[in-house]
Structure 1
Amino acid sequence: MSRSLDALLAASAPAIWGTSYIVTTEMLPPDYPLTVAVLRALPAGLILMVATRSLPPRTWIGKLLILGALNFSVFWSLLFLAAYRLPGGVAATLGAVQPLVVLLLARMVLGTRLTLAGLAAATAGIGGVALLVLGPSASLDTIGVLAALGGAVSMASGVILTRKWKPPVSALTFVAWQLTAGGLLLLPVAAAVEPPLPELSTLNMAGFVWLGLIGAALTYFFWFRGIERLGPAAVTSFGFLSPLTAMLLDWAVLGNAFTPVQALGAVIVLGCVWIGGRAARPRPAVAAPGDASVAPMPPVAAERARL
């Protein structure tokens, strides 16, 4: 398979994650953030565990519970809470601060050098997204804003610990374990806090299938397949497609028109994605299947953030 097709499939993952906001508000029953997070994480995790044919060793259970909580239980619960309370583009923008949080946490926890180029790239991308979605008419709910920012911090913390704890398995296997752990952790909480779901319509069921099977299981397969074939730097540069997709759907489906400032933001975002991909191509090191060094999770925006 050509590198172009590999890149296209990898880029489709954050683009699909960007649909999570409009799917949540337009296709799912209102006010079920915990239940939606469970129904997205647990089925996807079990499907990927069957596909990878691997169970976690008992010595890894504790770490997987921590990672599952940060990367999925807490992150997705807050993401869907933000999706219910904020316009999709606004929620995606706030989630896009995650790369900056990762840079700072990597410096503090892992001792990673904070390069000017890395900081500039993250800042430019976030700036483009901000121009794209934070217009004068943006309705900012305080709880939604705190949920979106809290989700970004939770996911960023999970990314750092994912880099620190590297089991000798493929990245897809690792994320399957985390999805399952996150779903199992959240299941009793959702059952205790939220009422039972109402009778689901065909539209509701289609939304859950999209978020769980397409928006989680299939997209994570494409994402980590791209990391293994193209390298982490090239693939993670696609992360800003998530908020861009969220804004495009706001415009195309909900009728929110682009302003000149938003159009400029879209150009900046796409430019960051293109430049980031080209900058990563000359690097010779490409992660092979089973290389645990590709374990870091994708950005929010996304999904992201990310979704």
Structure 2
Amino acid sequence: MSSQRIAATSAVTALAPAVWGSTYLVTTEFLPPDRPLLASTVRALPAGLILLLITRTLPRGVWWWRAVVLGVLNIGAFFYFLFLAAYHLPGGVAALVMSVQPMIVLLLGSVLLKDRIRPVHLASCLLGAAGVALLVLQPHAGLDGVGVTAGLLGALSMASGIVLTKRWGRPDDVGLLTFTGWQLTVGGLVLVPVTLASEDMPDHLTWSNVGGFAYLGIVGALIAYVLWFRGLSRLPALAASFLSFASPLCATILGYLFLGESLRPLQLLGAAAVVGAVVLAQPRGPRQTAVPPAATRATSRI
């Protein structure tokens, strides 16, 4: 791709993690308290079923177990750990913990995708992590062991999903909506029995609860994941993973706008560092990337 097309693809793909950054605000302000599994399930399963009803295509052959693996890593496990971190940590701190994800992608990509680890990649990781720290850490920021562990596991889950999605691509005859629908449905179905066994259902739902669930399902899952998998099929794994820094950036801005949180000069410096890390990690101009043939061919049908 040309530099202009790379920039345009990156900008559109970044909309997905930007939307995910609003998860922290929506979870704490609109959803029933202390129900991360319910929030995860309701976010994933309806969106996946809607896409399956539209596309009417099920996995075949080896893609049955691949869809399960990707659905668990990209959706089921990731959603659960994301919501668990959001319930136990301030939004910015949760985003900071999960900002280790590009570093994990860097290591996994060198093993599974044979990507070279370049000095610029290491510099981007360090710059991005430092930027997120400046952006979200406050003197009153609380650290909770459960929340920190959930954030790290969420980062590991999403990083593994990114790398395996790049390694496997998607079937030649399967479009983007179908591929996204498989994963959202699998992720939701995996969470259903765990949710029913581990959490009590709310006694009642307010209209705010319903609106919060609808937003997370339609905007935060269906639309956002279509954009995310579209970008992941076109960008290198590491470049795509750095776009996830849009999540803490968005979480900080929303906290400032709607929760009365402050925005100090150091946070502005952190925001600039985050943007710089994302730009630094993006590919420069046309070059061959190590992506599977299936993934390359699939982009032409998006």
Band of TM-score, shorter chain:
0.7 to 0.9
CA-CA distance at 1:109 after TM superposition: 3.9
Q: 1:273 aligns with which of 264, 271, 278?
A: 278
Relative to 1, partners in 2 of residues 1:293 and 1:217: Cα closer, same or farther, differing over 3 Å?
A: same
Listed as ranges, the matches of 1:164-175 within 5 Å are: 164-168=167-171, 169-175=174-180
Q: Does 1:184 align with 2:189?
A: yes
Q: Is the 8 A contact 1:171 1:291 kept in 2?
A: no
Q: Does 1:103 align with 2:106?
A: yes
1:219: which partner in 2? 224
Relative to 1, partners in 2 of residues 1:227 and 1:67: Cα closer, same or farther, differing over 3 Å?
A: closer
Q: 1:154 aligns with which of 143, 154, 157?
A: 157
Relative to 1, partners in 2 of residues 1:68 and 1:132: Cα closer, same or farther, differing over 3 Å?
A: same
Q: TM-score, normalised by structure 1?
A: 0.84
Moved more, 137-146 or 253-262: 253-262
CA-CA distance at 1:145 after TM superposition: 0.7
1:30: which partner in 2? 33
One-letter amino acid of the structure 1 residue matched with residue 40 of structure 2? A
CA-CA distance at 1:247 after TM superposition: 1.0
One-letter amino acid of the structure 2 residue matched with residue 174 of structure 1? F
Q: Within 1, Cα distance between the matches of 2:103 and 2:43?
A: 26
Relative to 1, partners in 2 of residues 1:196 and 1:239: Cα closer, same or farther, differing over 3 Å?
A: same
2:19: which partner in 1? 16
One-letter amino acid of the structure 2 residue matched with residue 215 of structure 1? G
Structure 1 residues not aligned, in runs of 5+: 296-307
Q: Does 1:238 align with 2:224?
A: no
Q: Does 1:256 align with 2:261?
A: yes
Q: Within 2, Cα distance between the matches of 1:158 and 1:262?
A: 30
Q: Within 2, Cα distance between the matches of 1:89 and 1:121?
A: 20
Q: Does 1:203 align with 2:202?
A: no
Identity of aligned residues (%): 48
Q: Within 2, Cα distance between the matches of 1:294 and 1:141?
A: 45
Q: Is the 8 A contact 2:102 2:241 kept in 1?
A: no
Q: Within 2, Cα distance between the matches of 1:126 and 1:150?
A: 17
Q: Within 2, Cα distance between the matches of 1:115 and 1:220?
A: 29
Structure 2 residues not aligned, in runs of 5+: none
Q: Within 1, Cα distance between the matches of 2:176 and 2:237?
A: 11
1:301: which partner in 2? none
Q: 1:56 aligns with which of 59, 67, 74?
A: 59
1:82: which partner in 2? 85
2:118: which partner in 1? 115
Q: Is the 8 A contact 2:76 2:191 kept in 1?
A: yes
2:49: which partner in 1? 46
Q: Is the 8 A contact 2:105 2:237 kept in 1?
A: no
CA-CA distance at 1:245 after TM superposition: 0.4
CA-CA distance at 1:270 after TM superposition: 2.2
User: For the aligned residues, what is the CA RMSD?
Assistant: 2.8
Q: Is the 8 A contact 1:227 1:294 kept in 2?
A: no
Q: TM-score, normalised by structure 2?
A: 0.85
Q: Within 2, Cα distance between the matches of 1:132 and 1:281?
A: 27
Q: Is the 8 A contact 1:106 1:112 kept in 2?
A: yes
Relative to 1, partners in 2 of residues 1:144 and 1:234: Cα closer, same or farther, differing over 3 Å?
A: closer
